[in-house]
Amino acid sequence: MPTTLITGGTVVSSTGRTSADILIDGERIVALLEPGSTVLGANLAETADTVIDATGKYVVPGGIDAHTHMSMPFGGTTASDDFETGTRAAAWGGTTTIIDFAVQKFGERLQDSLATWHKMAEGQCAIDYSFHQIVGDVNNASLQALRELPNEGITSYKLFMAYPGVFYSDDAQILRAMQTGAETGLMTMMHAENGPAIDVLVSQLLEQGKTDPYYHGIARAWQLEEEATHRAIMLADLTGAPLYVVHVSAKQAVAQLAAARDRGRNVFGETCPQYLYLSLEDQLGAPGFEGAKWVCSTPLRAKEDHHQDHMWQALRTNDIQMVATDHCPFCMKGQKDMGIGDFSKIPNGIGSVEHRMDLMYQGVADGKITLERWVEITSTTPARMFGLYGRKGVLAPGADADVVIYDPSGHTSIGLNKTHHMNMDHSAWEGYEIDGHVDTVISRGKVVIDDGKYLGRKGDGRFVRRDPCQYLI
């Protein structure tokens, strides 16, 4: 099998950094070696099929985005990135694995929904992928199907406390699903917002003529995220199910998670780049309909209340364990503009899968997190949280050769006509400047990005079966 040697770089893990060469044989890492090492008297730099010079650069495990929605139907339309375009964009940004969501609609067999998502993704992905299972119809048949998910290599499922009439589960349904999750070792993922209360506020705001995108954030008040987060924690506490709360945006919700973890509970939280950088005032409150670009749920929070600063702090203290994107892109023309005159009709979602690694590295450059923490929250913890660690999330013998060579002296300008490969007609990150650059991306031993060129193709990625959570307390 072809061999690749990465030389001269600083290998960074979640626990430290070291100067080492990495030897790849085929799709796997076979050794981390002292720089300039020989094997059986042979100079590896002379015998390897490919030598990549990483001098002055960081060598890190490929990013894992554990929350994406390719081709997701929502709000009368479908996310603009499919598995081909979305995974290609992910590769450009240093992400080598995504975990997407198979969506069960009300009245549909859960097994059929999973089969549909397998069919959509197979042969289309540029990088490796796996699935979580959305349960949109909690009933006896669905609960039985949940018990069978581990046999399919899927060890997590998602419920919604929001979107009545679409994905919403009431407390009784959540309780039953969590009981099943606890019995089978499945991770319960939760969209924690009080959907019925949100619907009341939406109706009242529209009746008052408050129709602009800004009011999306007002209707989805932080109190409704905190309340739902607390309720989910209590149900998980009762059933013994591990709980993972997605896209946490409010500092008060973080406090609920931290308190549960202080009691020794298996409760975890994810945030997203938008909740670290963007705000209700500056983005959702942009003039006219411009704010629709940043309509997502949970919503952007008020900068004056310091939610963004608190999210960075929570990442430093591990009150939030990891960063995903909730990548669910919609174009302004023909999709987001469905909500002109009624913010509740704007499809909820932001495109970020290409920029997560860069945006989080900027936190390193700004002194908000350490280099090791960057690796931990973007790769190692996602691997451990969702049963991929050892194969993904680490640079070690036996692991898949998913490797990113990152140049801290480089520069990345984000924007529609700069770094942008997502299938969108705008960029939520227009004008952001990053003090670093993804130079080379290797996915299972194959160089897919190098020197500003895309060398991969659809079908390079494979479905990855997952083990149970490796992060439990």
Query: Stretch 218-239: mean pLDDT, rounded?
Result: 98
Query: Stretch 282-290: mean pLDDT, rounded?
Result: 96
Q: Say if residue 40's pLDDT is above 60.
A: no
Query: Stretch 21-40: mean pLDDT, rounded?
Result: 88
pLDDT at position 330: 98
Average pLDDT, the chain: 96
Do the strands 73-74 and 50-53 form a parallel or antiparallel pair, or are they unpaired? unpaired
Q: Say if residue 87's pLDDT is above 70.
A: yes
pLDDT at position 36: 75
SS3 assignment for 284-299: HCCCCCHHHHHCCCCC
CA angle 381, 31, 399 (to 5 degrees): 35
- Predicted TM-score (pTM) of the model is 0.97
Each residue of 448-464: pLDDT tens digit? 999 999 999 999 999 99
DSSP-assigned letters across all residues of 28-64:
EEEEEE-TT-EETTEEHHHHSSEEEE-TTSEEEEPEE
CA 150/CA 80 separation, integer angstroms: 30
Query: Stretch 393-422: mean pLDDT, rounded?
Result: 96
Judge residue 207's burial from the number of C-beta atoms within 10 Å of its C-beta, 0-12 exposed, 13-18 middle, 19 or more buried: exposed
Distance (Å) of CA 340 to CA 105, 210, 294, 334: 27, 12, 14, 11
Percent of the chain with pLDDT strictly greater than 90: 95
Query: Stretch 29-34: mean pLDDT, rounded?
Result: 94
Between 250 and 39, name the one with better pLDDT.
Answer: 250
Query: Stretch 46-58: mean pLDDT, rounded?
Result: 93
pLDDT at position 37: 75
CA 271/CA 109 separation, integer angstroms: 30
Each residue of 243-260: pLDDT tens digit? 999 999 999 999 999 999
H-run or E-run covering 90: helix 83-92
pLDDT at position 42: 62
For the chain, the first-to-last Cα distance in angstroms comes to 40
Cis status of the peptide bond prior to 4, with omega within 30 of 0? no
Task: Assess contact for 252 and 226: CB atoms under 8 A.
Answer: yes
Backbone angles phi, psi at 132, to 5 degrees: -95, 165
Helix, strand, coil in percent for the chain, rounding step 5: 35, 25, 40
Each residue of 362-386: pLDDT tens digit? 999 999 999 999 999 999 999 999 9
Question: Quick one: pLDDT band at residue 1, thresholds 50, 70, 90?
Answer: confident
Each residue of 287-327: pLDDT tens digit? 999 999 999 999 999 999 999 999 999 999 999 999 999 99
Task: Assess contact for 49 and 3: CB atoms under 8 A.
Answer: yes
Spell out where 263-408 has E strands: 267-271, 322-323, 403-407
Region class of 163: left (phi > 0), else alpha (psi between -120 and 50), else beta: left
